[in-house]
Amino acid sequence: MTADAVTSSTAAPGADYADTASAAYRAALQVIETVEPRIAAATRKELADQRDSLKLIASENYASPAVLLTMGTWLSDKYAEGTIGHRFYAGCQNVDVVESVAAEHARELFGAPYAYAQPHSGIDANLVAFWAILATRVEAPGLAELGAKHVNDLSEADWESLRNKLGNQRLMGMSLDAGGHLTHGFRPNISGKMFHQRSYGTDPETGLLDYDALAAAAREFKPLILVGGYSAYPRRVDFAKLREIADEVGATLMVDMAHFAGLVAGKVFTGDEDPVPHAHVTTTTTHKSLRGPRGGLVLAQPEYSDAVDKGCPMVLGGPLSHVMAAKAVALAEARQPSFQAYAQRVADNAKSLAEGFLKRGARLVTGGTDNHIVLLDVTSFGLTGRQAESALLDAGVVTNRNSIPADPNGAWYTSGIRFGTPALTTRGFGAAEFDRVAELVVDVLQNTQPNSTGPTGFSKAKYTLADGTAERVHAASAEMLAANPLYPGLTL
C-alpha cells in the first residue's frame, strides 16, 4: 500500500490496515509507558498536534506507518561499521540485506549507477560527498606525489603536506540569503571552514539564478567543487548548465537535492532539471518531499563510488540499520506510480498557494514558484520573519522564517517566511485548500503589528496579534484539517 493510502483521506486505507496499524502503535506506546510515561504522553501529543495544525514547513512531511514502524525494531541494536560484505563486526548478514535493498531502490528510483544509504542526515551525506571528492581529486594524487610509500609509512611531514592540500581547496555554492543551505559553504558551518569558499547569488532584480554571472564567477574563482541545489529557492535549476560550467573550470559538480528529491523521484523534474545524470555526486535527505525517514543518501558516478563507500569510517560512525531499513521501505513506496501523481500535486499546489498570495497583494521572492517552495517577503506587512513565524504559530499555522536575497534583517530575524506544500499535499489538500491557506496567512499577517520599543523604533521579535485573529484562523483551519485527516482510521 502506498504512503498516500496510509496518510491521507485521498485514498483511505482498508479497515484491516488501519486496525493493524492502530494495534501496533497502541501496543508500542503501552510498552513505552511502563518505563517512561512522559515519553509516551509526548508521543501521543505530537500526533494530536500534527493532526490539528497546518504544517507548511518545506522540509517536513508525514511518513507512512510502514516507514515509521520499520524504525522501531531490533535492527537498532546492531553495529555495522564498514560496507556490505566488509564489516568491522561479525553477524551483519541481515544488515547487509537491509543496506543492499535500500541502495537497490535508490539506484532504480533515481537512475543512479551507485547509491550509498548509510548517511544519518543530509549534512552527513554532504560531508561524505565533500570528503569523497577530496579523496578522489586531491588525496589520491597527493599520495602519488609523495612516492610509492605505503600509507602507513608516510611521515608526519608527508601528512602535513597532504593536510595543507586538503585544507586549501575551493568550494563554490549558493549563498544562504539567495536560497542555499548552511552546508554549501556558510562560514559558521563546517563546510565554510573546510574550504576556501565563495558564494554565488541570484539576480538582484528578479531573484533568479544568473547562469552567465555564475559562470564568470566560477572562471575567476576556479573551485574544485561547484555545489548546486538549494533549501529556499522557489524555482527549478538547469543542471546541464551547471555541469557545463563545472566542466569548463575543472570542477566536480555536486548537487544537494535534499529539498526537491521527491520531485525528481516523482518525475516532475526530468531532463536538464534532474540533477542525477549531470552531477558527479548527488546528495539528498530521505524525508522532506521524498516522504521517508529522517536520513540521507549519496548517489555517485562510478569514479567516485569507491571513495563514497568509505563514508564509514571516513566521516560516519556506525550506520543506523533500522533507519536504513525504513529508507528501503520509503524508497519502495516512491517507486509506485501513485508517488508520481503525488509529486505532481505537490508542485501544482505550490503554484496555487503562490497565486493565492499574489492575488491578495503579498510579495513573493522571484514572483512565484515552480517547485514545492513559496518564499514570502513579509516586509510589506511591516514585520520581520521572526514576528511573522510566531504570529502564524499562534494561529496554528506552522512555518519557518527564512532569509531572502540581501536580507536587511540578517539570518536570525530574517525578512521572509518559507512555505512548502509536501506535507499538506500528503493529507489530501488541493488547489482550493491552498488558496484558502494563503487567505488565512494573509489574514494573520495583516492583523499582526510589531511592538514599539519607544519613540525611535520597533522590536524585531515582539509583536501583537489582533484579538480574535488566532481563534478565527484556527476555526477555519480545523474545517480543512477535518476534511483531510492525518492517518485516517489510526486510533491510539
Query: pLDDT of 236-259, one tens digit each?
Result: 999 999 999 999 999 999 999 999
CA distance 115 to 94: 19
DSSP per position, 413-459: H-SEEEEE-HHHHHHT--HHHHHHHHHHHHHHHHTEEEEE-STT-EE
Query: pLDDT of 297-355, one tens digit each?
Result: 999 999 999 999 999 988 898 999 999 999 999 999 999 999 999 999 999 999 999 99
DSSP per position, 123-152: HHHHHHHHHHHHIIIIIHHHHHHT-S--GG
Decide if pLDDT at 161 tops 70.
Answer: yes
Choose the weakest-confidence range: 88-102, 165-179, 300-314: 165-179
Which positions are annotated as active-site residues?
A: 79, 81, 256, 285, 288, 294
CA distance 219 to 226: 11
Residue 147 banded pLDDT, cuts 50, 70, 90: low
CA distance 416 to 1: 38
The mean pLDDT value for 147-173 works out to 79
Looking at residue 148, its pLDDT comes to 57
Looking at residue 139, its pLDDT comes to 83
The mean pLDDT value for 46-67 works out to 96
Surface-to-core class of residue 299, CB atoms within 10 Å of its CB (0-12 exposed, 13-18 middle, 19+ buried): buried
Decide if pLDDT at 35 tops 90.
Answer: yes
CA distance 397 to 472: 12
Looking at residue 13, its pLDDT comes to 53
The mean pLDDT value for 94-105 works out to 98
CATH number (3.40.50.720, 3.40.640.10, 3.90.180.10, 1.10.150.120) of 76-334 reads: 3.40.640.10
Identify which of 489, 43, 95 has the alpha carbon closest to the alpha carbon of residue 318. 95
Q: Which residue has the cell 573546510?
A: 194
The mean pLDDT value for 192-211 works out to 91
Q: Are 207 and 224 in contact (CB under 8 A)?
A: no
Surface-to-core class of residue 246, CB atoms within 10 Å of its CB (0-12 exposed, 13-18 middle, 19+ buried): buried
Looking at residue 168, its pLDDT comes to 82
Looking at residue 6, its pLDDT comes to 45
The mean pLDDT value for 272-280 works out to 98
The mean pLDDT value for 449-478 works out to 92
Identify which of 241, 199, 256, 201 has the alpha carbon closest to the alpha carbon of residue 223. 199
Q: How many CB atoms are located within 10 Å of the residue 104 CB? A: 15
More confident residue, 19 or 68: 68
Taking CA atoms, 191 is separated from 196, 225, 338, in Å, by 9, 11, 37
Looking at residue 87, its pLDDT comes to 93
Are β-strands 416-420 and 400-402 bridged in parallel, bridged antiparallel, or unpaired? antiparallel
Does the domain at 337-483 match CATH 3.10.20.810? Answer given as: no
* Percent of the chain residues topping a pLDDT of 70: 96
Taking CA atoms, 297 is separated from 191, 251, 317, 326, 440, in Å, by 18, 22, 15, 13, 36
Cell of 394: 499562534
| Cα Rg of the chain, angstroms | 24
CA distance 264 to 245: 22
Q: Which residue has the cell 564567477?
A: 217
Looking at residue 416, its pLDDT comes to 97
Domain spans of the chain, in order of start: 76-334, 337-483
Query: pLDDT of 369-415, one tens digit each?
Result: 999 999 999 999 999 999 999 999 999 999 999 999 999 999 899 99
Paired residues of 449 in beta bridges? 464
Fold identical between 76-334 and 337-483? no
DSSP assignment, residue 227?
E
Looking at residue 150, its pLDDT comes to 66
Q: Are 328 and 108 in contact (CB under 8 A)?
A: no
Looking at residue 71, its pLDDT comes to 96
What's the mean per-residue pLDDT of the chain? 92
pTM: 0.93
Decide if pLDDT at 17 tops 60.
Answer: yes
